[in-house]
Amino acid sequence: YLAALYLPQKSTTPDAIYAQDGPKRLELRITIPLVKDVSTQEFVKAINKGVGRNCTEAEKAAVAERVKAFNDAITEVGRVKKGDLLRIDYLPAQGGTVLSVNGKTWGKPIAGQDFFTAFLKVFLGDKPTDAKLRAGLLGQPGA
Count of structural domains, the chain: 1
Angle (CA) 65 66 69, round 5°: 90
Residue 120 lies in a domain: yes
Residue 89 lies in a domain: yes
Reported as a single tens digit per residue, the pLDDT across 79-104 is: 888 889 999 999 999 999 999 999 99
Expressed in percent and rounded to 5, the helix, strand and coil fractions of the chain are 45, 25, 30
Overall pTM > 0.85: yes
Residue 33 lies in a domain: yes
- CATH number for 86: 3.50.70
Residue 143 pLDDT more than 60?
no
Residue 142 lies in a domain: no
Residue 60 lies in a domain: yes
Query: What domain range is 70 assigned to?
Result: 2-137
Residue 143 lies in a domain: no
Contact of 38 with 1, CB cutoff 8 Å: no
Query: How many residues are given for the chain?
Result: 143
Q: How far apart are CA 33 and CA 8, in angstroms?
A: 33
For the range 5-8, what are the long-range contacts, defined as Cβ-Cβ under 8 Å and sequence gap of 24 or more? 5/120, 5/123, 5/137
